[in-house]
């Protein structure tokens, strides 16, 4: 190859890098053969304690559910796995058809018209929904529940900061944890609100019936609903109670937790707004022989064409996770998914009632319906200390509902408890026993 | 070699079985009006039916494992299988980000170690792995620039992001989302025109975003003067790391004078791109901007790793969790396997591949700008217009050879451009095979070029129709008046 180029050394190919810009050694160690790499990485991973070693009740927005082996087998098809974005649709019908099926499934679950081919995760999908809502409606204020997890609020504040928008918190009813609709009505009446977000379940794990009346409260202001996909197998489709955008997080729906990523951002909207939507969209068309074929479409919205006037900067998305999402739903089937959600709700009810009998615990903390998740509150002591006592008994009791940043406002000692697929009767009993010991300040 | 892609008459999933609305089970305590009125409509299939359906679809898709992928700026290198083994270990896949820190010490250690490696590769002082993709890293970096300017009282005055006209589309889009106005600097001979940049920088300049080597495949040799110009005007310098592959171990953003950078682990560090994603972005910042990186930061005290939220200047969170751990782990394995010498070899081999193939393909189509390139090179398909052929036709004809086409019509400063990149994992034999396929394609008759592709699951797709009459889901197909039958 050097001879073909008429040069003596590869060094000559770097003659355009000025001497003053060159570096010496990086200092990152020698290369390693495959067995050494495996040994080294396994040694580090051995310091982890996987969820399977615990009675696990951590989940929330990233729920823990069994992923059937066939999902991973399909995800591992290297024609999908090692492909790039389908810029050449004729060579990429497989992935385009998967994306079209995925979009159709999210449309079906949400009751809206159009879904995109995915965004990064649930939190960034909410961020994109904020910017999308601003394109639909004037104003500077975006209302979100005060119970929204701090991470999502922080992501939203970042997405709002570029165009100088403000994220404001809707107070919740101290008894039910639900939205204060009177406050929303007044706020919207004052003008300057361009969008309202409600999450289902909310940051306390509960489903808030006030959400059903939100659209009639805010009128023409766009309603964004952030919904857990599994919950939509039993809950009314948000498109039917006025949602203009439905976003969500797909992790847990055929996607292994992997310490939180890669995840899957879900986004659906109404057809009349599709040209303002962010992200890639697969569409059906015809080939030169008049047969059904698929391609990425409506690309004039996107960064590679519209540049600074694009609806979003997103390029790489989460196509492979979208594949996992649609394969999972198809493998399990709609009936079994709805039954899974109902059974998680029943087990959650069992756990919540049992924890309600533990002195020193308010469980469930809020008087509102719930599916697999609910909040508890400690009468005394701190949530992290309580959770640590549970951990010593091999119970992961949930996640503290708290903004961990120094200087964040002090909040009550609450814990979001999530009943995942692995939490059976035995695990529930272990939680209750461990909780009894832990509130007493005891434990091994 | 004759290539034929599988051509299954595979129905869509909803045509494989009836999709009646399922029953909605009773959920205790749920108000009736919150209960779904009609069950989800989706087919009920056996496991084999599902597996066969998606396996057939997969056979109608190119991947690196089946075909060389010459997409310029996408760095489609081989994704090592050992990474897949490791990412599926329970100690990696079965972890939740909200588990107690004491139970995820290994995960934090992987992230911490990868961050250390990437600080060395970038020559910048701190790294965050939180961004979900390259564009997300750009956006986060510009939000950090914003926060920095606010602290200096310059947010109201430094409102402009400068970029060359060869910049990736994500650059101006990210800058606009972060609230900046953008201004493009015209290139000269494929590189930044230093005189034009000097004339453009001012007290309004927030930062200059640059990819080096750039999207013409050229190393911006005046980079040190560029850095001085931008800094002299009080602006910051942003490194788009999409093309880092070509300069690994030769130079780095820190040495070139950049203040902040993003990298794409799904390019340089060989994590799979999954048909469009997931990606994994890296944010690297020098001392000026490091305090603004997203929280949490991973810190090591003794042997213990923990998540540090005590960064008062931090922009906060840009996504939930700590990043795409599954991909970070793969990137770490890649870095570990390669080590210092291996990473240097990556750049040398990638640049050799690109110059070799550029010299050969350049015999058939003109190459704009100087011949010495880095990871990729440009060709212009303009001469083909004489025989009524466009770059698009050539790209489709290449697909018929069983190889993926180059990136086309970008960057736009070259007429009918093709941007070719076959990274270090492609052998000379594959490069020569790609060249032979290219020669067959470029010398073919206009009729054949217009008729391409013929060997794939579908023929030339009507993309205009897709945009004009959008059919975007199953719902639209059912409502569509025109019935289309498979042959």
Task: Select from A428, A431, A419, A426 the least CA-distant residue to A230.
Answer: A419
Residue A226, phi-psi category: left (phi > 0), alpha (psi -120 to 50), beta (remainder): beta
State the Cα–Cα distance between residues A363 and A374, nearest whole angstrom: 8
pLDDT at A295: 98
- Domain range enclosing B421: 355-466
Q: Dihedral (C-alpha) B219, B220, B222, B223: value to the nearest 10 degrees?
A: -110
Does B438 share its domain with B401? yes
Shared domain for B301 and B415, answered yes or no, is no
Return phi, psi of residue A305, to 5°. Answer: -110, -50
C-alpha distances (whole Å) from A397 to each of A392, B102, B262 are 11, 15, 37
- Min Cα–Cα distance to chain B from A245, Å: 16
Interface mutation target, options B112, B320, B460, chain A, most CBs of A under 10 Å: B320
Burial class (CB in 10 A: 0-12, 13-18, 19+), B262: buried
| H-type alpha helices, B272-324 | none
B317, B377: one domain: no
A9 touches chain B (CB under 8 A): no
Residue B455 near residue B3 (C-beta atoms within 8 A):
yes
Q: Decide if A190 touches B, using CB distance below 8 A.
A: no
Distance of CA A84 to the CA centre of its chain: 23
Question: What per-residue confidence (pLDDT) applies to B483?
Answer: 52
CB A207 within 8 A of CB A369: yes
Query: At a CB cut-off of 8 Å and minimum separation 6, what does A19 contact?
Result: none
Q: Round to whole Å and give the CA distance between A117 and A99.
A: 6
> CATH code at B105?
3.40.640.10
Residues B318 and B386 in one domain: no
- A19 touching chain B per CB within 8 A: no
Q: Do B339 and A31 touch, CB atoms closer than 8 A?
A: yes
B361 with B389, same domain: the answer is yes
Of the candidates A360, A388, A355, A359, which has an alpha carbon nearest to the alpha carbon of residue A374? A355
Q: Do A108 and B42 touch (CB under 8 A)?
A: yes
Q: Which of B357, B376, B371 is nearest to B215 (CA)?
A: B376
Same domain, B325 and B384: no
Q: Tell me which chain A residues have a C-beta less than 8 angstroms from the C-beta of B45.
A: 330-331, 333
Nearest CB to A48; choose among B85, B91, B169: B91
List, in order of start, the domains of chain A with CATH numbers. Answer: 52-66+333-439 (3.90.1150.10), 70-331 (3.40.640.10)
Same domain, B243 and B166: yes
Q: Tell me whether residue B312 is in a domain.
A: yes
- Mind giving me the DSSP string for A248-267? EE-TTSS---GGG-S--EEE
Residue B213, CA distances (Å) to B124, B166, B169, B250 in order: 18, 11, 16, 12
Q: How many CA atoms lie within 13 A of A249 on its CB side?
A: 27
Question: Do strands B205-211 and B160-164 pair parallel, antiparallel, or not at all (unpaired)?
Answer: parallel
Residue contact A262–B117, C-beta within 8 A: no
Distance CA A377, CA A435 (A): 12
Helix (H, G, I), strand (E, B) or coil at A137: coil
Does residue B82 come out as left (phi exceeding 0), alpha (psi in the -120 to 50 range) or beta?
alpha
HSE (side-chain half, CA atoms, 13 Å) at B21: 11
Domain-embedded: residue B158: yes
Contact indicator for A282, A95 with CB cutoff of 8 Å? no
Nearest CA to B268 among B23, B77, B459, B136?
B77
Cβ of residue A207 closer than 8 Å to a chain B Cβ: yes
* d(CA A242, nearest CA chain B) in Å: 13
The shortest CB-CB distance from A320 to any of B55, B275, B336 is to B275
Of B223, B247, B461, the CB nearest to A89: B461
pLDDT in tens, A156-189: 999 999 999 999 999 999 999 999 999 999 999 9
Consecutive 10-residue runs of chain B (487 residues): their mean pLDDT? Answer: 90 91 88 95 97 98 96 95 97 97 98 98 98 97 98 97 94 96 95 97 98 97 98 98 96 98 96 95 97 97 97 97 96 98 97 98 97 97 97 98 96 95 97 98 98 98 95 92 50
Which chain B residues are closer than 8 Å to A92 by Cβ? 61-62, 275
Residues A151, B317: C-beta atoms closer than 8 Å? yes
pLDDT of residue B480: 76
B480 located within any domain:
no
Q: What distance in Å separates the CA atoms of residue B470 and residue B463, rounded to the nearest whole number?
A: 10
Answer yes or no: is B361 within a domain: yes
**SS3 at position B413:** coil
Q: Where are the beta strands (DSSP E) in A118-274?
A: 141-145, 166-170, 193-200, 223-227, 245-249, 265-269
Last residue of a domain, which of B304, B337, B370? Answer: B337
Coil, strand or helix: which one is A428?
helix
The angle formed by the CA atoms of residues B282, B285 and B288, to the nearest 5 degrees, is: 160
Average pLDDT over residues A82-104: 97
User: Are residues A287 and B460, on separate chains, in Cβ contact within 8 Å?
Assistant: yes
Q: Are residues B213 and B312 in the same domain?
A: yes
Contacts of B453 in chain A (CB under 8 A): 90-91
- Contacting residues of B for A291, CB less than 8 Å apart: 458-459, 484, 486-487
Rounded CA separation A168/A187 (Å): 10
Helix (H, G, I), strand (E, B) or coil at B278: coil
Closest CA of chain A from B466, distance in Å: 5
From the list A114, A286, A326, the residue facing B472 with the nearest CB is A114
How close B170 gets to chain A, by Cα (Å)?
Answer: 5
The answer for residues whose C-beta is within 8 angstroms of residue B324's C-beta and 6 or more apart is: A258, A261, A262, A263, B129, B132, B265, B278, B279, B280
How far A183 CA lies from chain B's nearest CA (Å)?
Answer: 22
- Residue B372: CATH number of its domain: 3.90.1150.10
What is the CB neighbour count within 10 angstroms for residue B196? 15
Question: Which of B99, B162, B358, B456 is most worth mutating to test chain A (most A CB atoms within 10 A of its CB)?
Answer: B99
Taking Cα atoms as reference points, which of B252, B238, B186, B189 lies closest to residue B209? B238
Choose the final residue of a domain: B337, B370, B388. Answer: B337
Beta strands of B159-231 (E only): which ranges? 160-164, 181-185, 187-188, 191-192, 205-211
- Torsion B237-B241-B247-B249 (CA) sign: positive
Tell whether A113 is within 8 A of chain B (Cβ): yes
Q: Which of chain A's residues have a Cβ under 8 Å away from the Cβ of B333?
A: 37, 41
Residue B135, domain member (yes or no)? yes
Q: Provide the whole-model pTM.
A: 0.97
Cα B133 to Cα A229, A318, B281, B452, distances in angstroms:
23, 10, 4, 33
DSSP helix/strand/coil, B127: strand
Query: Does residue B112 sit within a domain?
Result: yes
The Cα-based distances of B122 to A1, B249, B438 in angstroms read: 30, 9, 36
**Do residue B320 and residue A407 have CB atoms under 8 angstroms apart?**
no
Per CB-CB distance under 8 Å, the chain B contacts of A107 are 473-475
Residue with tokens 């529940």: A145
| Alpha-carbon span B329 to B457, nearest angstrom | 35
B397 and B309 both lie in a single domain: no
User: B276 and A85: CB-CB below 8 Å?
Assistant: yes
Q: How far apart are CA B462 and CA A107, in angstroms?
A: 24
Phi/psi region, residue A143 (left: phi>0; alpha: psi -120 to 50; beta: rest), is: beta
Q: Which residues of A touch B34 (CB under 8 A)?
A: 207, 209, 212, 235-236, 369
Count of CB contacts below 8 A, A vs B? Answer: 664
**Which residues of chain B lie closer than 8 angstroms to A369, CB-CB?**
27, 29-31, 34
Q: How far apart are CA B152 and CA B150, in angstroms?
A: 5
Determine, for residues B337 and A37 on separate chains, whether the beta-carbon distance falls below 8 Å. Answer: yes
Q: Hey, is the C-beta of A163 within 8 angstroms of any chain B C-beta?
A: yes
Check CB contact under 8 Å for A17 and B250: yes
Contact residues, chain A, for B374 at CB < 8 Å:
16
- Mean pLDDT for the stretch of residues A402-407: 94
Buried b vs exposed e over A119-146: b needs ≥16 C-beta within 10 Å?
Answer: bbbbbbbbbbbbbbbbebeebebbbbbb
* A150-161 helix and B134-151 helix, angle to the nearest 10 degrees: 80
Nearest CB to A108 within list B28, B40, B355: B40
Q: How far apart are the first and last CA of chain B?
A: 27
Q: Is residue B49 part of a domain?
A: no
Q: Look at residue A444 in the predicted model and tell me its pLDDT.
A: 40
Going by pLDDT thresholds of 50, 70 and 90, the confidence category of residue A443 is very low
The predicted-structure confidence for A380-403, as pLDDT tens digits, reads as follows 999 999 999 999 999 999 999 999
Hey, CA dihedral for A335, A336, A337, A343, is it positive or negative?
positive
The CA distance from A322 to A329, in Å, is: 11
Question: Would you call A35 an interface residue with chain B, using a CB distance cutoff of 8 Å?
Answer: no
Distance from CA of B457 to the nearest CA of A (A): 7
> Taking CB atoms and an 8 Å cutoff, what residues of chain A touch B250?
14, 17, 22-23
Q: Based on the domain organization, do B146 and B114 belong to the same domain?
A: yes
Q: For residues A256 and B94, what is the distance between their CA atoms, to the nearest angstrom?
A: 7
Residue of chain B whose alpha carbon sits nearest to that of A89: B461
A257 in contact with B at a CB cutoff of 8 Å?
yes
Distance from CA of A114 to the nearest CA of B (A): 6
Give B153's DSSP letter: T
Tokens of B304: 């213990």
DSSP A273: G
User: B386 and B309: one domain?
Assistant: no
User: What's the structural domain count of chain B?
Assistant: 2
B128 and B275, same structural domain?
Answer: yes
- A8 CB near a chain B CB, below 8 Å? no
Report the distance separating Cα B48 and Cα A264, nearest Å: 26
């Amino acid at each position: 190859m050097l001879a073909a180029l008429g040069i003596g050394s590869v060094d000559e190919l770097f003659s355009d890098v000025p001497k003053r810009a060159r570096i010496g050694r990086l200092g990152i160690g020698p290369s390693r053969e495959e067995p050494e790499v495996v040994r080294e990485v396994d040694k580090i991973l051995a310091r982890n304690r996987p969820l399977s070693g615990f009675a696990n009740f951590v989940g929330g927005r990233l729920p823990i559910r069994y992923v059937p082996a066939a999902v991973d087998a399909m995800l591992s098809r290297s024609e999908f796995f090692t492909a790039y974005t389908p810029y050449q649709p004729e060579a990429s019908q497989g992935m385009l058809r998967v994306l079209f099926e995925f979009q159709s499934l999210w449309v079906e679950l949400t009751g809206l018209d159009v879904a995109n081919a995915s965004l990064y995760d649930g939190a960034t999908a909410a961020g994109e929904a904020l910017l999308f809502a601003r394109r639909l409606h004037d104003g500077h204020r975006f209302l979100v529940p005060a119970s929204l997890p701090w991470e999502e609020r922080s992501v939203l504040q970042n997405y709002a900061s570029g165009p100088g928008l403000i994220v404001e918190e809707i107070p919740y009813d101290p008894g039910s944890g639900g939205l204060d609709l009177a406050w929303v009505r007044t706020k919207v009446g004052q003008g300057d609100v361009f969008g309202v977000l409600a999450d289902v379940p909310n940051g306390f794990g509960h489903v808030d019936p006030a959400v059903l009346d939100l659209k009639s409260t805010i009128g023409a202001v766009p309603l964004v609903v952030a919904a857990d996909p599994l919950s939509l197998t039993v809950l009314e489709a948000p498109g039917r109670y006025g949602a203009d955008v439905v976003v969500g997080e797909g992790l847990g729906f055929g996607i292994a937790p992997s310490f939180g990523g890669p995840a899957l951002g879900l986004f659906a909207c109404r057809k009349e707004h599709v040209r303002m939507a962010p992200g890639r969209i697969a569409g059906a068309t015809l080939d030169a022989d008049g047969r059904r074929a698929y391609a990425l479409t409506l690309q004039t919205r996107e960064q590679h064409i519209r540049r600074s006037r694009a609806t979003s900067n997103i390029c790489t998305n989460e196509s492979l996770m979208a594949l996992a999402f649609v394969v999972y739903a198809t493998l399990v089937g709609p009936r079994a998914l709805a039954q899974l959600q109902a059974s998680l709700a029943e087990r959650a009810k069992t756990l919540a009632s049992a924890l309600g009998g533990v002195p020193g615990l308010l469980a469930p903390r809020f008087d509102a319906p719930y599916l697999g998740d609910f909040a508890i509150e400690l009468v005394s002591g701190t949530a992290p200390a309580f959770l640590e006592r549970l951990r010593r008994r091999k119970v992961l009791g949930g996640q503290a509902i708290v903004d961990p940043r120094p200087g964040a406002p002090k909040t009550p000692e609450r814990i979001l408890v999530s009943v995942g697929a692995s939490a059976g009767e035995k695990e529930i009993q272990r939680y209750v026993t461990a909780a009894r010991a832990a509130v007493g300040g005891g434990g091994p | 070699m004759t290539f034929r892609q599988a051509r299954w008459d595979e129905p869509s999933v909803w045509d494989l079985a009836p999709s009646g609305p399922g029953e909605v089970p009773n959920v205790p305590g749920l108000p009736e009006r919150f209960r779904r009125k009609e069950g989800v409509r989706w087919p009920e299939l056996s496991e084999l039916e599902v597996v066969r359906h998606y396996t057939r679809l997969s056979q109608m898709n190119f991947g690196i494992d089946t075909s060389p992928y010459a997409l310029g700026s996408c760095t489609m290198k081989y994704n090592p299988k050992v990474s897949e083994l490791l990412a599926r270990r329970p100690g990696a896949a079965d972890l939740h980000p909200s588990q107690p820190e004491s139970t995820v010490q290994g995960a934090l250690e992987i992230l911490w170690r990868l961050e250390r490696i990437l600080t060395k590769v970038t020559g910048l002082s701190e790294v965050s792995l939180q961004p979900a993709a390259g564009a997300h890293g750009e956006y986060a970096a510009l939000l950090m620039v914003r926060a920095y300017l606010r602290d200096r009282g310059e947010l109201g005055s430094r409102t402009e992001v400068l970029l060359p006209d060869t910049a990736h589309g994500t650059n101006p889009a990210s800058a606009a989302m972060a609230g900046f106005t953008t201004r493009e600097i015209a290139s000269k001979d494929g590189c930044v025109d230093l005189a034009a940049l000097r004339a453009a920088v001012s007290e309004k300049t927030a930062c200059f975003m640059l990819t080096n080597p750039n999207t013409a495949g050229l190393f911006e040799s005046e980079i040190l003067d560029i850095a001085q110009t931008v800094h002299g005007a009080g602006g910051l310098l942003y490194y788009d790391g999409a093309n880092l592959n070509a300069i690994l171990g030769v130079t780095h953003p820190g040495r070139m004078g950049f203040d902040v950078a993003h990298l794409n682990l799904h390019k340089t560090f060989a994590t799979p791109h999954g048909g469009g994603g997931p990606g994994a972005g890296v944010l690297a910042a020098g001392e000026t901007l490091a305090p603004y990186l997203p929280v949490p930061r991973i810190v090591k005290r003794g042997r213990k790793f923990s998540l540090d939220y005590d960064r008062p200047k931090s922009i906060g969170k840009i996504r939930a969790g700590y990043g795409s751990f599954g991909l970070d782990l793969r990137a770490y394995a890649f870095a570990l396997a390669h080590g210092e010498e291996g990473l240097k070899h990556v750049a040398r081999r990638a640049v050799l591949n690109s110059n070799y193939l550029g010299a050969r393909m350049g015999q058939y189509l003109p190459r704009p700008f100087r011949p010495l390139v880095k990871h990729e090179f440009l060709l212009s398909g303009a001469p083909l217009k004489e025989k009524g052929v466009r770059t698009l036709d050539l790209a489709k004809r290449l697909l018929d050879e069983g190889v993926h086409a180059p990136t086309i019509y970008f960057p736009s400063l070259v007429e009918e451009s093709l941007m070719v990149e076959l990274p270090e994992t492609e052998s000379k034999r594959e490069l020569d095979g790609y060249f032979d396929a290219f020669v067959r394609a470029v010398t073919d008759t206009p009729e054949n070029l217009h008729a391409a592709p013929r060997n794939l699951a579908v023929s030339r797709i009507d993309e205009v129709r897709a945009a004009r009459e959008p059919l975007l889901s199953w719902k639209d197909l059912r409502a569509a008046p025109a019935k289309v039958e498979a042959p």
